[in-house]
Amino acid sequence: MFCRLITFKEAKKIIGEWHSHHKPPIGHIFSLGAYDCDLDNLIGVVIVGRPVSPGFGNEFGKVLEVTRLCTNGYKNAASFLLGCVKRSCKELGVEKLISYTREDENGTCYLAAGWKKVSKVKGKGWVSGNKSDRWLPGLYLPTTEICDRVRWEIFCR
């Protein structure tokens, strides 16, 4: 397996086709694709962006978030992508990566890549702040259902 940068357009297309419960995100900082020793055989994608949680908002550049991770089921592709992201972020000077899984997911790929489960997060909608659904009702479409999550972290040093 190997990784390379892919465009946000390519990553969103794969997420839209393969991901079981998420729509593609709105933006990203970078995206990686994993390949099975052949540039024509994409086996997974990962999208890295700014942290969604307001609690990490003041740490831009120090903390980034894996906002989507998706594979076609190829063995170990998800943990391979998480390792590629960590190495890439280390080179960029990022201190920490965070990500979230649904509470009913086991997070095996995160454990295999050395990530630590740090907290449970109660699911809530975007009901506060200056969100687009407040000013333009009907135009804001959430990218996932509201459910409890587990936050994962790994330091990039």
Domain boundaries, the chain: 2-155
Do 24 and 15 touch, CB atoms closer than 8 A? yes
- pLDDT, averaged across the chain: 84
* 134 pLDDT more than 70: no
Give the torsion through C-alpha atoms of 102, 98, 109, 87, to 10 deg: 160
Q: Cα–Cα distance between 63 and 13 in angstroms, integer?
A: 26
Q: What are the tens digits of pLDDT across the range 69-118?
A: 999 989 999 999 999 999 999 999 999 999 999 888 889 999 999 999 99
Mean pLDDT of 113-138: 69
> Where would I find the H helices in the chain?
8-18, 77-92, 108-112, 132-135
Residue 18: per-residue pLDDT? 83
Report pTM: 0.82
Residue 40: per-residue pLDDT? 77
Query: How do strand 63-71 and strand 96-102 relate by DSSP bridges?
Result: parallel
Does the domain made of 2-155 have the CATH classification 1.10.2020.10? no
Residue 149: per-residue pLDDT? 85
pLDDT > 90: what percent of the chain? 54
Q: Where is average pLDDT lowest: 49-58, 62-71, 118-127?
A: 118-127
* 58 pLDDT more than 70: no
Q: Cα–Cα distance between 111 and 155 in angstroms, integer?
A: 14
Residue 136: per-residue pLDDT? 53
Q: Cα–Cα distance between 121 and 150 in angstroms, integer?
A: 6
Q: How many CB atoms lie within 10 A of CB 118?
A: 12
How sure is the predictor about 121, in pLDDT bands with cuts at 50, 70 and 90? confident
